[in-house]
């Protein structure tokens, strides 16, 4: 085989070459077909090869693909910002477009710090978060991430922003159940704020459903209401990292909507471009923008390709496609159908400890034994094995962590395109069952 100079995730591994994609399927050069039950990395939310998106890309490319944000704006960027303001709850009206989820969370973090600075408060510069979380790979976003594996090599360069436990009911550190637990894991935030000092803290950031670090951990009912109240009581902004959950993945435009909470700032990514173009955003409320609008009048962030017209045209077309085909309305029903089938597999396979998640962001946690919930030994590499076995069967699933520390556990995320049909869900479950049969 010819020598490759491309830096792939594992340098000495051979990766199939994908030739094309159609709907929820990918096809490699050898002719093998894959059911994309991960939407890549929870990204290809409307499936592959959608004509409307391809046409929107072509149309924009014929006009202009790049204008520099410091010099010009574009119709598509303006229209996209307007549509996001309409589609998101409350007065989350102001979009700052970037190119990746990591840039979106870092921009959200900077906006929160700037908000306090513009109000004359310079000490509020920390942004707290949770252990068992993933907010991105760049150093600022990694500082926010309670993802031990991804932090390990860079610890001396990182801030210690993760401070509290996640709402991980399957392994509750207090051995209690919601709601009678009184949401002690949320109240840990109050303790952390008191210890650090509210005068030092700009914001708290959390994923509504914990993705890569936890394997689709959805919170109990009043968890986020409790978190938001603590933030408000202590003059701390609440940032929802909806990079994985936004644009309809859980059945509402933002997952925060399920729990009746409107964040001060939201980070969006992944599904925004649905894999057709790199685009992400930090979306701020009127409250956050007000002191900036009446102060410096400029958000201190930005990348060369911010608000790139080509990417904005794609994201606009994705929203229009979701709207025209009423896709988000169908997510809850499809998600329930898939979750029910996954739960049924628990009776068949004793290594399925937990089935969880929201909408079409579902997770399965693997354990040595259902009754003890003991995790597999770390060096058994169960998640990696499961992902590889599934791939052999022609099924793509997304590897994730689990465990209170985010490392001592194995889970996978099942997050097919939101356009998946019931028949395709049946095929997905069939391939997953075959995978588990090989494993057991
Ligand atoms: N935030 C969340 C919740 C994510 O899941 C991810 C990526 O997995 C990111 C941020 C970082 O996004 P990106 O990989 O586009 O930088």
pLDDT tens digits along 60-118:
999 999 999 999 999 999 999 999 999 999 999 999 999 999 999 999 999 999 999 99
pLDDT at residue 406, rounded to an integer: 60
pLDDT class for 2, splitting at 50, 70, 90?
confident
Find out whether the beta carbon of 129 lies less than 6 Å from any atom of ligand 1.
no
The answer to whether the CB of 217 is under 6 A from ligand 1 is no
> According to the model, what pLDDT value does residue 428 have?
98
Asked if 320 contacts 80 with a C-beta cutoff of 8 angstroms, the reply is no
Mutation to probe ligand 1, out of 135, 142, 208 (largest number of atoms < 8 A from CB): 135
pLDDT of residue 388: 97
**DSSP codes of every residue in 243-295:** TTTTTTTTSSSSGGGGGT---SEEEE-GGGTTTSS--EEEEEEHHHHHHHHTT
- Taking the CA of residue 280 as reference, the ligand 1 atom at the shortest distance is 15
Q: How confident is the model at residue 407 (pLDDT cuts 50, 70, 90)?
A: low
Report which protein residue has its CA nearest ligand 1's atom 1.
135
Would you say residue 1 has pLDDT above 70? no
Mean pLDDT of 308-319: 98
| Separation between Cα atoms, residue 311 and residue 95, nearest integer Å | 14
User: What is the number of the ligand 1 atom nearest to the C-alpha of 270?
Assistant: 15
Q: State the pLDDT confidence band at 3, using cuts at 50, 70 and 90.
A: confident
Question: What pLDDT was estimated at residue 186?
Answer: 98
Q: Which of 146, 288, 152, 275 is nearest to 210 (CA)?
A: 146
**Residue 309: predicted pLDDT:** 98
> Is the predicted pLDDT of residue 184 greater than 90, yes or no?
yes
Round the average pLDDT of the chain to a whole number and report it.
Answer: 96
Instruction: Give the mean pLDDT of 149-165.
Output: 93
Q: What is the pLDDT of residues 379-398, one digit of tens each?
A: 899 999 999 999 999 999 99
**Cβ(135) – ligand 1 distance below 6 Å:** yes
Report, as an integer, the average pLDDT of 154-164.
94
What is d(CA 273, CA 33) in angstroms, rounded to the nearest whole number? 24
Helix (H) or strand (E) holding 240: strand 237-241
Q: What angle is formed at CA 202 by the lines to CA 201 and CA 204, rounded to 5 degrees? A: 85
Show me where the domains of the chain are located.
Answer: 18-49+327-439, 53-324
**Would the pLDDT of 403 be above 90?**
no
For the domain spanning 18-49+327-439, the CATH number is: 3.90.1150.10
Assess contact for 37 and 417: CB atoms under 8 A. no
**pLDDT value at 36 more than 70:** yes
pTM greater than 0.90 (yes/no): yes
Q: Which atom of ligand 1 approaches the CA of 269 most closely?
A: 15
ipTM of the complex: 0.99
Q: What architecture is the 53-324 domain classified under in CATH? A: 3-Layer(aba) Sandwich (3.40)
Q: Residue 27's beta-bridge partner residues?
A: 20, 33
Residues 6+ apart with CB under 8 A from 334: 360, 418, 420, 422, 425
């Amino acid at each position: 085989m010819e020598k490759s100079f491309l830096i792939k995730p594992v340098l000495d591994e051979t990766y199939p070459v994908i030739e094309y994609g159609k709907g929820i399927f990918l096809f490699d050069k050898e002719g093998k077909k894959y059911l994309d039950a991960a939407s890549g990395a929870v990204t290809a939310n409307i499936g592959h090869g959608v004509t409307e998106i391809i046409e929107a890309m072509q149309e924009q490319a014929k006009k202009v693909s790049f204008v520099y944000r410091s010099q010009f704006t574009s119709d598509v960027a303006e229209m996209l910002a307007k549509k996001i303001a309409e589609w998101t709850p409350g007065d989350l009206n102001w979009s700052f477009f970037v190119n990746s989820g990591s840039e979106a969370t870092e921009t959200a973090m900077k906006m929160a710090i700037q908000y306090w600075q513009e109000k004359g408060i310079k000490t509020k510069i920390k942004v707290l978060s949770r252990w068992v979380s993933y907010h991105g790979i760049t150093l600022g976003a990694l500082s926010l991430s309670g993802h031990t594996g991804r932090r390990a090599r860079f610890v001396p360069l990182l801030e210690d922003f993760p401070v509290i436990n996640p709402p991980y009911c399957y392994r509750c550190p207090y051995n209690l159940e919601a709601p009678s637990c009184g949401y002690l894991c949320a109240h840990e935030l109050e303790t952390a704020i008191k210890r650090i000092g509210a005068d030092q803290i700009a914001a708290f950031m959390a994923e509504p459903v914990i993705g890569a670090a936890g394997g689709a951990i959805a919170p109990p009912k009043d968890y986020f209401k409790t978190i938001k109240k603590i933030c408000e009581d202590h003059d701390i902004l609440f940032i929802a990292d909806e990079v994985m959950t936004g644009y309809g993945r859980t059945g509402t435009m933002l997952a925060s909507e399920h729990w009746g909470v409107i964040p001060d700032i939201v980070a969006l990514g992944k599904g925004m471009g649905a894999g057709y173009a790199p685009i992400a955003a930090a979306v701020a409320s009127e409250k956050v923008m007000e002191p900036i609008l009446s102060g410096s009048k400029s958000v201190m962030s930005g990348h060369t390709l911010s608000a790139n017209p080509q990417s904005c045209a794609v994201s606009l077309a994705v929203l229009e496609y979701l709207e025209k085909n009423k896709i988000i309305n169908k997510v809850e029903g499809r998600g329930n159908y898939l979750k029910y089938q996954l739960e049924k597999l628990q009776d068949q396979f004793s290594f399925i400890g937990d089935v969880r998640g929201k909408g079409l962001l579902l997770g399965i946690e693997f354990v040595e034994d259902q009754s003890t919930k003991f995790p597999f030994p770390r060096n058994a590499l169960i998640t990696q094995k499961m992902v590889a076995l599934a791939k052999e069967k022609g099924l793509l699933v997304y590897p994730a962590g689990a465990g209170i520390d985010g490392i001592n556990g194995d889970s996978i995320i099942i997050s097919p395109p939101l356009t998946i049909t019931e028949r395709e869900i049946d095929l997905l479950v069939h391939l997953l069952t075959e995978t588990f049969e090989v494993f057991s």
